A and B are shown apart, each in its own frame.
Chain A
Amino acid sequence: MIGWVQQLGRHGCDLLEALGRASIFLGLSAVGVPSREGWHLWLRQMHFVGVLSLAIVLVSGLFIGMVLALQGYTILVDFGAEQALGQMVALSLLRELAPVVGALLFAGRAGSALTAEIGLMKATEQLTSMEMIGIDPLRRVVAPRLWAGFVSLPLLTVGFSVVGIWGGYLVGVEWLGVFDGSYWGNMQSSVDFIADIGNGMVKSLVFALVVTWIAVFQGYDLIPTAEGISRATTRTVVYSSLAVLGLDFVLTALMFGELG
């Protein structure tokens, strides 16, 4: 019993310590805002984490939008409310699915790659040798990745929503025959720019920060061996996913809780 409590205490301390280290790490790296010389580093990472994630995010968005329309239609048609399809597709995408699924895909596609890349740089002493050259790897290596992730995910989320709504249109209007005007009209009368799109973007920004932070920190903090890298990569995906889903609940409760 005492042993168990002691173990709990030790895990608690470890967790707090890791959180502290991660926060200091974030503080030291985030100050490396892309400057004029750092511009091309940031650009490179934007390409790597943003542009290269575009394909998977857009394809997923399209399919999710199409499935939403199909499932939504079969339910709504029972109540004779199929003209509300546009509203349903748009609200589910904007408020929940685009930020959350976008962030999960991002963690799997870009987050794990960031961890592995930074981890390998650490294992091959590239980070140490950079320090010895007098360059802070937090600014040179971590900061551009952090900022690129922070900017990329919201953009990817927008893409996800747009493509999803279009996918819903394809299925709902083109295939199932919902009236074109009510698909868009209902959507427009129920979607609010600030409350729905704005809050979705806020979620996405929070997820972007958390996922990228976890990814770069896991890479920077790992044990520099092959096994260490593979574990850290797994941890990035697991922690990011849990953090995104947990935070999503909290944010949703804060944003939409009182809307009833």
Chain B
Amino acid sequence: MKRSKMMELGVGLFMLAGIVGLIFLGLRVSGLNLPGTGGGETFQLKANFANVGSLKPRARVTLAGVNVGRVVAIELDTEWYDAQVTLELDAELEGQLPRDTTASILTSGLLGEQYIGLSVGGDPDTLGDGDTIRDTQSALVLEELIQQFVSNMVSE
């Protein structure tokens, strides 16, 4: 009977390890925030871009290079025919970001993925939940850059 106890213990530990492993994958690897673990509190901002390039949902949002949130949705705004991006930011920034904060779409490394970088302005008014960032800078599209460069060359 002693062997069977050891076996039960072994199987129990095995299953426990599997579940702990899954939790590790969830929290540490996919950055899932369980409700109630503190990091769960967020608020949303919107930003309209003329062109989002290859920005994808779940892309990072950084402020001074620090991760402060992520993109939750990218939709076409049929009123202006531009892209409306919904951002989810850490709740501690709610009411802290000045109204003239800029959102720009940046690329990490030469071929890396695109993310949104925020840079703060000096307006005393601040952005709250659901507000829209007015000042945006679209993604750099390589073809457009080259076209610009070529037409500059020609006109000179």
Contacts and interface: CB of A to CB of B under 8 A. Distances in A.
Size range of the interface on A? 35 or more
Contacts of A197: 22, 25-26, 29-30
Nearest to A188: B31
Contacts of A185: 60, 67
Contacts of B26: 193, 197
Interface stretch (A125-133, A154-162, A221-229, A234-242): A154-162
Interface string A180-191: 000011011111
Contacts of A188: 28-31
Nearest to A159: B21
A147 B28 CA distance: 30
B25 A189 contact: no
B15 A155 contact: yes
Interface in A149-170: 151-152, 154-156, 158-159, 161-162, 165
Interface stretch (B90-98, B104-112, B127-135): B104-112
Contacts of B60: 185, 189
Interface string A17-54: 00000000000000000000000100110110011001
Interface of B: 4, 7-8, 10-11, 14-15, 17-18, 21-22, 24-26, 28-32, 58-60, 67, 70, 108-113, 115
Lowest 9 CB-CB distances: which A-B pairs, in order? Answer: A188-B31, A155-B18, A158-B21, A191-B30, A81-B109, A193-B30, A189-B60, A162-B21, A46-B11
Interface of A: 40, 43-44, 46-47, 50-51, 54, 79-81, 83-84, 90, 94, 151-152, 154-156, 158-159, 161-162, 165, 184-185, 187-193, 196-197, 201
Given A50-B14, A81-B112, A158-B25, 8 more contacts: A43-B7, A83-B112, A84-B109, A90-B29, A154-B18, A189-B67, A192-B58, A193-B30
